[in-house]
């Protein structure tokens, strides 16, 4: 049976809700700095401050979110300025999408979150990058603390995912391309532009400006 690989990254891919997701990334290889990332996630998990970095019409990006997102990009090799720019652009799209989903009435139950976390726990036992996962978990006070944190932040991501799933269903109904590659490319382009549109409509403004 082929083993899965789990990314200890942000989804929205993280963008930065900092949950574990299935998939592949340039960060998910033998060079992944698991202990550094885990230590930063542990620090982030204990930060309950909601100090705004940027405010949109209905969405807010906190300074804590910016810090963890910038750190992620710095681990990927970007310099400070480019890491900040990349983090801000991703977070604008992430938070705009989440707010849109909430406005449309999407929600998630504790039972749904726990079910998904249980699945991740099972996959993690045999994941290709299990050693990396363990490095991340080792930086938390306990394994339980790690999974409690993941469950807390994953709720937001699941709300966005539900909305995106419905978006794609509607897109598929009106885009019956026979070639799967054509369809995938068309959906990817549509979704990318839609997220950019939502971010623009939020009209984010930096608090310090």
| 177 part of a folded domain | yes
* DSSP 3-state of 151: helix
Task: Tell me the CA end-to-end span of the chain in Å, nearest whole number.
Answer: 54
Strand residue runs (E) in the chain: 6-8, 20-22, 52-55, 60-62, 205-206
| 62 part of a folded domain | yes
- Per-residue confidence (pLDDT) for residue 140, from 0 to 100: 93
| 133 part of a folded domain | yes
Cβ(204)–Cβ(61) below 8 Å: yes
What total number of domains does the chain contain?
A: 1
Confidence of residue 19 (pLDDT cuts 50, 70, 90): very low
Confidence of residue 31 (pLDDT cuts 50, 70, 90): low
| 91 part of a folded domain | yes
- Per-residue confidence (pLDDT) for residue 3, from 0 to 100: 46
State the pTM of this model.
0.83
| 26 part of a folded domain | yes
Of 8-22, 145-159, 160-174, 195-209, the one with minimum mean pLDDT is 8-22
| 147 part of a folded domain | yes
| 167 part of a folded domain | yes
User: What digits encode the pLDDT tens for the residues 95-121?
Assistant: 999 999 999 999 999 999 999 889 888
**Cα–Cα distance for residue pair 86/137, rounded to 1 Å:** 26
| 25 part of a folded domain | yes
Domain that holds residue 131: 6-206
> Which CATH number does the domain housing residue 127 bear?
1.10.4030
């Amino acid at each position: 049976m082929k083993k899965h690989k789990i990314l200890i990254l942000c989804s929205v891919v993280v963008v930065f809700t900092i949950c574990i997701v299935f998939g592949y990334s340039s960060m998910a290889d033998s060079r992944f700095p698991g202990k550094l990332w885990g230590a930063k996630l542990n620090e982030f998990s204990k930060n309950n401050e909601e100090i705004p970095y940027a405010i949109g019409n209905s969405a807010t990006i906190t300074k804590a979110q910016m810090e963890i997102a910038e750190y992620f990009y710095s681990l990927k090799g970007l310099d400070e300025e480019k890491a900040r720019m990349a983090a801000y652009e991703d977070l604008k799209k992430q938070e705009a999408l989440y707010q849109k989903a909430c406005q449309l009435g999407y929600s998630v139950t504790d039972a749904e979150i726990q079910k998904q976390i249980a699945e991740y726990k099972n996959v993690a036992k045999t994941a290709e990058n299990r050693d990396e996962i363990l490095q991340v978990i080792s930086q938390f006070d306990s394994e339980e603390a790690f999974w409690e944190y993941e469950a807390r932040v994953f709720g937001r991501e699941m709300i966005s995912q539900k909305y995106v799933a419905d978006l794609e269903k509607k897109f598929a109904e009106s885009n019956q391309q026979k070639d799967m590659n054509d369809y995938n490319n068309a959906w990817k382009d549509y979704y990318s532009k839609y997220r950019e549109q939502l971010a623009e409509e939020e009209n984010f403004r930096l608090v310090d400006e």
